Amino acid sequence: MSNALIFCCDANYFWPAAFAANRVAFLSPDRDFAIRIFCSDPIPEDFPRHAARGVTAEPLSMGDFSFFREFSDRISNAAFLRIFALDRIAADHKRVIYYDADVAFRHGDLSLLFALDLGDKTIGAVRDTADWAAPSEKNARYFSALGVSAATGGYFNSGFLLVDTLRWQAQGIGATTLRFIAEHPELCRFNDQSALNHALAGKWAELSPGWNWQAGKPETMALIDTRDPQVVHFNARQKPWRDGLRTIPAAFKDPFRDWGRTVGWSLPDDNDVLSAIRPRREAARAQEK
């Protein structure tokens, strides 16, 4: 069984996922792991022309997803695709690294992660920034409702997962996660991340935040240069290809825009995005007064 790095997306996030996959291929030319993209929509016909050596993409259906109606107004079905992908390929790979598509790979060798000793844990992950310090009273109540506490290892961010597939299958993590989403949608404040934390409470090993530096807050964005993380995760509304608030440095945005021109992916202008969100921001401020 080989190892694999995977990304999961829909059509809206396909080209960011392909950009991230190609970046890993560049950083790891002698890699011994597969790089696979799973998409809930058809794969663009010109993808093979732009794919780095060894990077593949394939459609993946989630079948009956009727319980998704609880989330349909908020997010795309593709947000849950990683659960189906991990179940589907568990028999093909001994270990799988999953990354969200909204990441920037800066340096580092992912091969080191595949060799990590996870002990008796099912996955390795990085603690979510909401749990970096003592959680607020509100978050503490929420974590407790999920079955998460300091005793179970805390609350992780699911934008990066290092998965032992044998344990994942044996423990039925995919089925447990989906069942929790279906039965307790009111607790899935962060969609499948909430359900994964429930299913994997006490079953995850904490890894360095450098492998999933969550730059969704100004204070963590400001620490990128001094902490020098391997992977930056833009886990907020602002993305390198959609930054109407202009919170993301050009060093991250420019490569995405160059990639967009290369593949014919039309990226919104920051000014256009700002014009679209300004009325919503002003309305929100008015309600706060």
User: Quick one: pLDDT band at residue 287, thresholds 50, 70, 90?
Assistant: low
190-206: per-residue pLDDT in tens? 889 999 999 999 999 99
What is the spatial distance between Cα 55 and Cα 45, in angstroms, rounded to a whole number? 15
Best CA proximity match to 51, nearest among 19, 98, 29? 19
Question: Average of pLDDT values for 248-277?
Answer: 77
Residue-level pLDDT at 276: 47
210-247: per-residue pLDDT in tens? 999 999 888 999 999 999 999 999 998 889 998 888 88
2-236: CATH homologous superfamily?
Spore Coat Polysaccharide Biosynthesis Protein SpsA; Chain A (3.90.550.10)
Token pair for residue 284?
């929100």
Token pair for residue 204?
């995850």
By DSSP bridging, strand 123-127 and strand 156-164 are antiparallel
53-102: per-residue pLDDT in tens? 999 999 998 766 655 556 555 566 677 899 999 999 999 999 999 999 99
What is the spatial distance between Cα 7 and Cα 130, in angstroms, rounded to a whole number? 24
Contact yes or no for 45/86 (Cβ under 8 A) = no
